[in-house]
Amino acid sequence: MAKNTGKASNKSTGKPSTGKKISKKAAAKKKRRRILFIIEAIVFVVLIGVLFVMSKLDKLDRSVDVNEDNLKANEGITNIKEITEGYTNVALFGVDARDGKLGKGTNSDTIMIASINNKTGDIKLCSVYRDTYLNLSDDTYKKANAAYLHGGPEQAIKMLNMNLDLNITKYVSIDFNAIVTVVDILGGIEIDVQEDEIDHLNNYTVETSAVTGVQTTKLTKTGLQTLDGVQATSYARIRYTSGGDYKRTERQRLVLEKIAEKAKKANLATLNRIVDKVSPGISTNFSTPEIFGLVADIAKYNLADQTGFPFEKTTKNWTKKIGDVVIPITLESNVSQLHQFLFAEENYSPSPTVQAISKKIIEDTGISEVK
């Protein structure tokens, strides 16, 4: 079993740590305490205040059916309630819902877990790499993002709970079209575009513009610059540079951070426009009182840490149909690390279910240790 450090091996790339001293820039970034306004979907609501929130919440899409009774934790976790007591755990899905529907039938390009420590206000974000080879909760083994495709948010949450020994019941899904709208209303966000990113970004703008119907221009230079909605969304989709999907999840978290920073400075009229325009592209099973409760503690929230899952991993080109997959090494040891990262649970022993899934992944892939 891998050493349970409870920290991401590399916060920027998700790659295993080499033991080298982290850069001053990375250390400074880790020390910064930034307000994280809950999650990518609710962020645009909570900024406005409780009264404004209560007047707008009816616009959120709650038409996607999620039976919380089906979202049970694995058997054999004797202390799951004790482990997660005092935390609000939320599954966040960014979906490419080209037909405007946020239920099943579309892949989840972004899968995140937001764990809020209700006592301290600390929030930890964990991106689950969409290509991770996991049990989709029905004993089908494919890429993690296929769970949303087959069964919408309910199956995607079941997939997270089964493979990671969690007991998540709440989710928020957001259509990427909404990100385009939000960034444009905020007047763009500043991103430092690198040399190996600009061509891919420009290529993605073609499809993003076609899907959203929003026009943009191609970037002509690298460096720090203001990106519009189509450009920012295209930036978050890049996966063909060094680091692949690991680097893409870093870009996605950066875009969310930049949106939150810009939203904090926006006036009421701007935030009002965001809520009016974006709400149809957001789906959640949070009730109005539950969101009210989250908003009540907004002042103490801060992003304490972020990482990617799995911590220890490799990639393998599977069949032509499946393509490249991310393989946890091993799922069992990675789940132990995840519980320490999220809940400071030392020496966590995964459930028999996770142990069985871990064994199955080893049997299927033939990979059981870091090479």
- The answer to whether 235 and 251 have CB atoms below 8 angstroms apart is yes
Work out the end-to-end distance of the chain between its first and last CA atoms, rounded to an integer number of angstroms.
14
Question: Given pLDDT bands bounded at 50, 70 and 90, which one contains residue 279?
Answer: confident
Tell me the C-alpha distance between 173 and 104, whole Å. Answer: 11
Tell me the C-alpha distance between 304 and 284, whole Å. Answer: 24
Number of alpha carbons in the 13 Å side-chain half-sphere of residue 305: 17
pTM of the predicted protein model:
0.75
Structure confidence by residue, pLDDT tens digits, 359-370: 999 999 998 876
Q: Compare 13 and 96 and report the one with higher pLDDT.
A: 96
pLDDT of residue 370: 63
CB count within 10 Å of CB 284 equals 25
In the numeric block, the tokens 């069992």 are attached to 332
Q: Specify the 3-state DSSP secondary structure of 205.
A: helix
Token digits of residue 256:
């969310």
pLDDT of residue 97: 64
Structure confidence by residue, pLDDT tens digits, 149-168: 999 999 999 999 999 999 99
Q: Compare 282 and 325 and report the one with higher pLDDT.
A: 325
Tell me the residue type at 167.
N
pLDDT of residue 295: 67
Q: Specify the 3-state DSSP secondary structure of 322.
A: coil
Q: Compare 102 and 354 and report the one with higher pLDDT.
A: 354
pLDDT of residue 329: 94
What share of the chain has pLDDT > 70, as a percent? 77
Complete domains list, the chain, with CATH: 24-178+279-365 (3.30.420.590)
Q: What is the DSSP string of 65-103?
A: ---GGG-PPPTT-TTHHHHHTTEEEEEEEEE--TTS--S
pLDDT of residue 50: 32
Query: Residue 26: pLDDT above 70?
Result: no
What share of the chain has pLDDT > 90, as a percent? 36
